[in-house]
Structure 1
Amino acid sequence: MRQIEDLLEPLTELVEGMPSTEVNIPIVEVAGRGWNILREDVALPPDVLRKSALERNEQWMRKFCEAADVIIAPHGKTTMSPQLFQNQIDAGVWAMTVATLQQLRVCRTFGHRWVVLTNQLIGRQAIDYVASELRNDPSFEFYCLVDSVRGVEILAGALARNPAGRPLNVLLEGGSRGGRAGCRTVEEALTVARAEEVASPHLALRGVEGIEGLNTDPTEASIEDFLRYLVPIAETCARESLFAEGPVLLSAGGSAFFDLVADAFCAADLGRPGQVLTRSGCYISLNAAMYTRAIERLLHRKPALADLGPSPTNALEVWAYVQSRPEPTKVILAAGKRDLSYDVHLPVALHWYRLGEDRVHEVPGEHTIVGLKDQHAHMTVPPDSPLQVGDMVGLGVSHPCTAFDKWQVMFVVDGAYDVAGAIRTFF
């Protein structure tokens, strides 16, 4: 297995954000360069991660899991950064969650032994890779999903031809009508579960899973209804002794309703040991809109969680220059679709800074990003806006999963925007 240090290939001026005069710098040496974002020591736009927010978010989630008596396997697809994966492992996460074969390979390449694939394991390349890893590494603990008898047959047949040396752990997936994958009825789910029992010893049914955030109507009431649908599947499977030995995993994986997941699954009557697994991935960075509001709603639902300490906060910012102010009420920023996630909400202007000043300002109200081009953001501003050409604006984004994937390297900064390190992503 490669170690984390093996991924730290030298950075060159071809990496976005790097100073033009710096070449072949090992990532481990970035922290010692004395760079500062506001002093223009790096090329704008960079995507930065606030170190204090990352640490705060990790601490809060650890306390939440302890208080709720759940474990977490965060979605690695959010960041695809083995360095952040390792930080999460060090903070006590149970495993990493992935969605694709490539993401699984990244986890395995950098030594992660416990991985959950929250997708059906389909295709010769993927099944053969997993079988080989299970056969060659006794410490590798792997889980994937099934939601059809045909899927069970594909896995069992592939493993009969290419044995893994031990059973493949599977979770039975339930889904909602109009949603993504997953069995739509309890009866359908039980038919799949019984097929898995027949497929022993190639497969071992280890639990029940769903993705509540993909519900077609993601309100609190509909999420609770969906979770109430999943629980009887698990309870019936337990009564029919369809689960393999060991604790029964009950898992759901969104980043907005994990408190409801904990409540519903912890109340399940399995008649045997169970373990609730949440898979929130966006908690590590949060954002300036969607998931920040989700955390606010969570704390409103569960006021007692305020006792866990400072709540998760946004760690992601993209800094860009004011490139033009062609009209009194229009500002053009030098960052666009190539730099900023926009699939859920447009970016939000958070801070601004003028060279030579001694502080960062909060962006006043009525400064609104109204559109993005490839490399430009259009912002509507009031006529008396203080922004002028050459100023820097710190932008918050809405969707972490499509923010990280735009950057090979992201700088980690302290409260003064001194560069304290850098992370590499593998998308």
Structure 2
Amino acid sequence: MSTAIRGHSLSLKTHLTLVIVAAALILSAAMGVRQTFGLLIGPFSFDRGVPVTLIAFAIALHNLVWGFAQPFAGAAADRHGAAPVVAFGAAAFAAGLAIAAAASSGWALVVGLGVLVGIGISCTSFGVVLSAVGRIASAQQRSLAMGIASAGGSVGQVLMVPLAQTVRLSSGVSMSLFVLAFVMLLAAPLGIVLDRRTRGATAAHTVAATSHDARPTSLRDALAQASRHRGYRLLTLGFFTCGFQLAFIATHLPGYLFLCHMPLGLGATALSLIGLFNMAGSWACGWLGGRYRQQTVLGWLYLIRGAAIAAFFLLPKSTVSVVLFAAVMGLTWLGTVPLTSGLVAKVFGTRHLGTLFGVCFLSHQLGSFLGAWLGGFVFDVTGSYSLIWGATALAGVFAALLHFPIDDTVVDGTRPPVKAARA
């Protein structure tokens, strides 16, 4: 009997490991390719004569489309599984990159890089992928499992930026985009792994895995409860800040460093370093979220990020300061995602996690749209990024003030059977 139980536990552990690896690979492709978009502004502006504002709008638009499409992608994955959603998203993402590569006008760039990429990434990123991890992992493992998947997904952020930069310098921006489109197509079949079920799962495990997820029974009830939950509203508002900060930095940091007369290629190096340190940051945030209240970790994360942005902007620029800034930003970059999705799962369960996180993520993407677009707009109007840097730093304080008072009480007034988190 004990041998059978140990074998079953090993099977479940192996299953969770496979799901985490598949999730990390999908996220590596999607988020890694997205991380390269800041490198496109200069080539598209100088080589093709496209205004910086229009390029920034295309990049901003994909964030907006991503946000509006995410609840629908999450709902589709909740209902039909991750495999068809990931496959469709990878194909749409690749098509958008191919259209951008062949674009002869700014508006073709908007359709490819803006609309299709936005739809594609909504199906291949956190709302679909991490929700699949959250459904497989137990309540005790969930925060750490999501953190590990997010950390593994950062590998793509480390690898894709130098790959895109190398191909662009040797063969041009179009070839670089075609290579990235091929990478996305390679990720299409991995959604099948997310939907795998272990054979021989015991009834006891099934009950344990779903007991906290049986509330509420309908999507309408879930959305109604979330809309009335003050903590969910605060979490959603705070997530706006995360999107604003990350999109501005990812899109405009290379151009800002160029204006500061930093060495050529330092922008690409900084983006790669952000991805590298994000690996450690996402894992650490997932681990901390399993030991402490997730909203408390989020509050401190936003304060640290805001302080780092302010210090970087106000202090003299050097290669060392850029590397240090990239390291700190990487440690706080996407750690918000496993913490936020884990908090949603803790309060509402995982039955409708893809949809509820998707609605929350819409706020994040509205912030991303404004961060990417306003950066270009403010620069075109004023010739400087100063105003937007100041707003980005202050936004961190605003987000922290929203997260600290969040109530994480489960919607039915009981808590799942997990070890109590420390304040």
Q: TM-score, normalised by structure 2?
A: 0.21
Q: Which has the larger radius of gyration?
A: 1
Query: More helix per residue: 1 or 2?
Result: 2
